[in-house]
Structure 1
Amino acid sequence: MTTLRPTQETYAELQHAYDSFNAELFGGELPECLITLQRERLTYGYFSAERFSNREGRRTDEIAMNPVYFAVVPLVEIMQTLAHEMTHLWQFHHGTPGRGRYHNEEWADKLESIGLMPSSTGQPGGRRTGDRMSDYPIAGGLFLDTCDKLLTQDFRLSWYDRFPTYPALLAGQQSYSLTMDLPENVATVAANTGVDMATDIATALSEGISAYPLTSKKRDKTKYTCPCGVNVWGKPKLRIICGNCGDPFLASICAEEE
């Protein structure tokens, strides 16, 4: 048996997921793109239209995936990120993207049509549109059905970052998919791979070699974000209402430079 080199293995797995989603969720409408790994802070992934060009003058889009999350959030959520960014790619080629980072109604409708519910909080009750958007799987929807076919014992993301950031670990613990009754393959693959990765990460952290330690010498403060994308920082346990949209701010922990 030939062992693939890490670069080949990683990108072959991501390409396989892209091809599966393109066929099952987008009817094969999407062109090829260049998938990259980027450690963009507090971002699961992003889409950049026509970011790359070759020497023959061809252009291609970029979908970036953040490997910091690969080991600490459920695999189905990594696949959500890929499908989320593929929806941006679909809209660039077949629709009308919103200005800047804005996720408009057309994008939200398309995402919902493939079985992911757009949500500013990543959970039920969030806004469907905005600058910073997440999503969650729709029970019985097309996305989970496709994942159930894809996430068998033959599919995995073999390589992962052993030194996840604190926000990534927190995101994994708060994942909405953990509260759902997921299809059998989706749940089984996540359980089987998650134990081994968690043990490996815990060992790395205990050896004190993490590039992203769980404890910080910085002074912690709390970041508050409202569904319309406004951020404020302050002391823990504040209760703040946004003057723009009238919704409460949601808290997340960040670190303040000394």
Structure 2
Amino acid sequence: MKKLTNYRRTVQYLQKIYNLINAEYFNGELEEITLTVQESVRSYGHVSVSETWFTTDNKAMKELNVSANYLTRDIIEVVTTLIHECSHIYNMQHGVKDTSNGYIYHNKKFKKTAEEMGKIKIDRSEKYGWTISTPTEETIDFCIRNGLENIEIRRKSDFSFGGFTGGTNGNNTLPRPTTRKPSSTRKYICPCCGNSFRATKDINVICADCDVQFVKIG
């Protein structure tokens, strides 16, 4: 297999994985979606709660986005993100309300589907509920059996405040930064739990509680 350093090929590859997950874990029941790869430093992925893509013959589809910023994580982690979002799709199709508080807080109904059908491990975030997703031996075996390889292209984070909208599972918003005097340190904040710290240089750090990357805000 050629290295996944091409954007178009990467999107097709992720669509292939979606189809494999659908067949392996969700009995082939998941609806057709439009898979996108777009900027998202707030989460590894999200799925829209309503149809957002329409063809000229009036076919409507939900959007499943995989963050362009985190594509080069281990493929096992990327697959775990896709299974997480597929669990939301499955629940929506079966009338199961698995989130609240503007689609942010994940309840035990989500945990049940993701663990029992998707075979991933779900732990609880104090603020955002049962949303922390971890691969299992089943996930690893799935990747090996299907010969899945790491993606080698991603988008450099270019985070800006403002303009965020809700309406999708997995999205959170951050407050606008206040004006401050220039400083030799950078402030980093977790977009989920709000934990923060300062550093004297640019670094990449993942919040152990929420499993998302800290965002530099100043």
Give the TM-score band, short-chain normalised. Answer: 0.5 to 0.7
User: Displacement of 1:224 after TM fit?
Assistant: 6.0
SS at match of 1:24: helix
Question: In the aligned structure 1, how far is the partner of 2:210 from the partner of 2:21?
Answer: 34
User: Displacement of 1:235 after TM fit?
Assistant: 5.9
TM-score of the pair, normalised by structure 2: 0.67
Task: Look up the match of 2:180.
Answer: none
Instruction: Please say which of residues 58-67 and 47-56 is displaced more in the overlay.
Output: 47-56
Task: Look up the match of 2:120.
Answer: 116
Structure 1 residues 14-93: aligned runs within 5 Å: 14-49=14-49, 50-71=51-72, 73-93=73-93
Moved over 6 A (4+): 248-252
Task: Report the structure, 1 or 2, having the larger helix content.
Answer: 1
- The 3 A distance-change label for structure 1 pair 70 and 105 is same
What is the letter of the counterpart of residue 123 of structure 2? S
Task: Look up the match of 1:149.
Answer: 145
Question: In the aligned structure 2, how far is the partner of 1:251 from the partner of 1:138?
Answer: 18
- The 3 A distance-change label for structure 1 pair 48 and 235 is same
User: Displacement of 1:104 after TM fit?
Assistant: 1.4
User: Displacement of 1:51 after TM fit?
Assistant: 1.8
User: Displacement of 1:93 after TM fit?
Assistant: 0.7
Spell out, residue by residue over 1:141-167, the C-alpha distance to the aligned partner (whole angstroms, 9 max, x if none). 3x33322212x2xx4355512x64499
Aligned equivalent of 1:138, options 112, 136, 139: 136
- The 3 A distance-change label for structure 1 pair 135 and 42 is same
Question: In the aligned structure 2, how far is the partner of 1:14 from the partner of 1:110?
Answer: 21
SS at match of 1:55: coil
SS at match of 1:133: strand
- The 3 A distance-change label for structure 1 pair 67 and 230 is closer
Spell out, residue by residue over 1:186-217, the C-alpha distance to the aligned partner (whole angstroms, 9 max, x if none). xxxxxxxxxxxxxxxxxxxxxxxxxxxxxxx8
What is the letter of the counterpart of residue 58 of structure 2? G
**Identity %, equivalent residues:** 20
Q: Does the CA contact (< 8 Å) of 2:35 and 2:63 recur in 1?
A: yes
Give the CA RMSD over aligned residues.
Answer: 3.6
Question: In the aligned structure 2, how far is the partner of 1:251 from the partner of 1:20?
Answer: 25
SS at match of 2:52: strand
- The 3 A distance-change label for structure 1 pair 11 and 145 is same
User: Displacement of 1:36 after TM fit?
Assistant: 0.2
SS at match of 2:106: coil
Question: In the aligned structure 2, how far is the partner of 1:250 from the partner of 1:17?
Answer: 22
Aligned equivalent of 2:189, options 213, 217, 223: 223
- The 3 A distance-change label for structure 1 pair 12 and 108 is same
Indicate the structure (1 or 2) with the bigger Cα radius of gyration.
1
Q: Does the CA contact (< 8 Å) of 2:188 and 2:217 recur in 1?
A: no
Question: In the aligned structure 1, how far is the partner of 2:132 from the partner of 2:211?
Answer: 14
User: Displacement of 1:119 after TM fit?
Assistant: 2.1
Gaps of 5+ in 2: 160-182, 200-208
Question: In the aligned structure 2, how far is the partner of 1:250 from the partner of 1:64?
Answer: 18
User: Displacement of 1:102 after TM fit?
Assistant: 2.1
- The 3 A distance-change label for structure 1 pair 28 and 251 is closer
Task: Look up the match of 2:153.
Answer: 160
Gaps of 5+ in 1: 121-125, 168-216, 237-247
Task: Look up the match of 2:163.
Answer: none
Question: In the aligned structure 1, how far is the partner of 2:215 from the partner of 2:134?
Answer: 23
SS at match of 1:108: helix
- The 3 A distance-change label for structure 1 pair 159 and 144 is closer
